[in-house]
Amino acid sequence: MSVGWKETPRSVLLKDGRLGLRHGPIDLIVAAQGDPRAVTGGYERVRAQFETILGDLVGELYLLRAPVGGGQPMPSGAIAGRMARIARRFPADFVTPMAAVAGCVADHMLGVLIGDGGLERAYVNNGGDIALHLAPGASYKAAICTDPTAGGHGGTIEVDWGDPVRGIATSGWRGRSHSLGVADAVSVLARDAGTADVAATLIANAVDVNSSAVVRQPANRLQPDSDLGDRPVTVQVGHLSAAEIDEALDNGERRVTGFVQAGLIEAAFLTLQGRTRVVGERPALLSPHAAIPRHGVDRHA
């Protein structure tokens, strides 16, 4: 089939002053506050960089889809290199740099946006994985997604400039990437979005239980070029018993604790069939949310 049209990188300045960028699977919302010249200059740089980042990543996709620890060379691209370095920090049986892709794109673009300063507050949100810049005194509020299908919010967290948190990422079996676990959503706070991204992926994989209610299929049957190969990924989670939910959350919590003790992340929010666990030092302020946007969850405040 040929329809004579190809998606090119698209950027649009939204009416509220944020910048929207989309190319293939990358969907960024960029926001910056501060010296107007710094904002304009930052947006210009981000727009220019955006032209090439997907192409650059795709060029090294074969390296990025390979499990770490296999002795393969470091990728050379800025984002690809960051993905590989972060993935290698995590003690896991199996992880590929692709686990860090969304977060690392956000981190990289945030760096481009900040440039040589002048911004008080900025963020890059890549489909829910968020990289933050906070000048002294600034803070950032985010709603934690607990139901990716319906767009439900389970609570909000506030990141203060004094906190060692500049990255937020969410993973779960219903998300765009496949998961080995059953978590509805795992949101992680970490020093950068790439680290939060890998951690969220690995924690969501760990939130798991052996149950007849869980349907799994080999990843490569669903997505032929998946970096997960033929590992069984979750495609459906039926009603779990209270004991099964507890067991799955316990499994996830153990992994969170390990990551927190290793200094990799600050905190994680785990949600499974209406139950939530908060692990780490950050408090969660719960507030119900009324309505559900159709085009996905706007997770930034």
Partner 1 sequence: MTTRAIKSGKIRCDACPVMCYIAEGRAGACDRYANEAGQLVRLDPLTILQRHSESGGELVPFLDGADDWDGGIVADGDTFITAVGAGTTYPDYKPAPFIVASQVDDADMITVVSEGIFSYCGVKVKIDTDRHLGPERAPVRVDGEPVGHVTTGEYGSQMLSLGGVNHLTGGGKKEGRVTCATLLALCNGGAVEMAIDDGSHLIVQAGRPPMVNGEVEERMRAGCGSAVVGMFASQWKGLVDEVVVVDDHITGVMSEHQAGKVIGWPASGIRIKGRRSTPGRYFNVAEPGTGWGGTDLADPLTIVGDFKTGVAEPGRSLLMVSTTGEHSAYYELDDALRPVEKRMPDALVKTIERIAENCEPALCSVVFMGGAGGSLRAGVTENPVRLTRSVRDALTKVTCGGAPAYVWPGGGITIMADVARMPENAFGYVPTPALVAPIEFTMRRDDYQALGGHMDHVTTLADAARGVTGRQNDHVLAGRRRVAADPQNPWPTNRERARS
Q: Which residues bind partner 1 (CB under 8 A)?
A: 1-7, 12, 14-16, 18, 20, 23-25, 27, 29, 54-55, 58, 61, 176, 221-225, 287-295, 298, 301
Minimum distance, C-beta of residue 37 to partner 1, in the bound complex (Å)? 23
Q: Which is nearer to partner 1, 282 or 300 (CB)?
A: 300
Specify the residue for token string 């002795």.
71
Minimum distance, C-beta of residue 287 to partner 1, in the bound complex (Å)? 7
- Side chain identity, residue 52: T
Tokens of 124: 């890059």
Q: Which is nearer to partner 1, 6 or 239 (CB)?
A: 6
Q: Which is nearer to partner 1, 13 or 243 (CB)?
A: 13
| The three-state (H, E, C) secondary structure of 142-198, written as one string | EEEEEECCCCEEEEEEEEECCCCCCEEEEECCCCCCCCCCCCCEEEEEECCHHHHHH
Q: How far apart are CA 53 and CA 283, in angstroms?
A: 36
Question: How many degrees, rounded to 5, is the angle at CA 241 between CA 235 and CA 246?
Answer: 90
Minimum distance, C-beta of residue 290 to partner 1, in the bound complex (Å)? 5
Closest by CA position to 46, among listed 30, 25, 23? 30
Minimum distance, C-beta of residue 231 to partner 1, in the bound complex (Å)? 16
Inter-CA distances, 85 with 206, 218, 224, 261, Å? 22, 27, 26, 20
Is the Cβ–Cβ distance between 179 and 205 less than 8 Å?
A: yes
Q: Which is nearer to partner 1, 15 or 37 (CB)?
A: 15
Closest by CA position to 29, among listed 142, 101, 129? 129
Q: Which is nearer to partner 1, 27 or 44 (CB)?
A: 27
Minimum distance, C-beta of residue 1 to partner 1, in the bound complex (Å)? 6
Backbone angles phi, psi at 21, to 5 degrees: -135, 135
Q: Which is nearer to partner 1, 1 or 242 (CB)?
A: 1
Minimum distance, C-beta of residue 128 to partner 1, in the bound complex (Å)? 12
Minimum distance, C-beta of residue 14 to partner 1, in the bound complex (Å)? 6
Instruction: Check the CA dihedral 31-32-36-41 and report its sign.
Output: negative
H or E, element range at 39: helix 36-59
Q: Which is nearer to partner 1, 170 or 251 (CB)?
A: 170
Determine how many CB atoms are found less than 10 A away from the CB of residue 297: 21
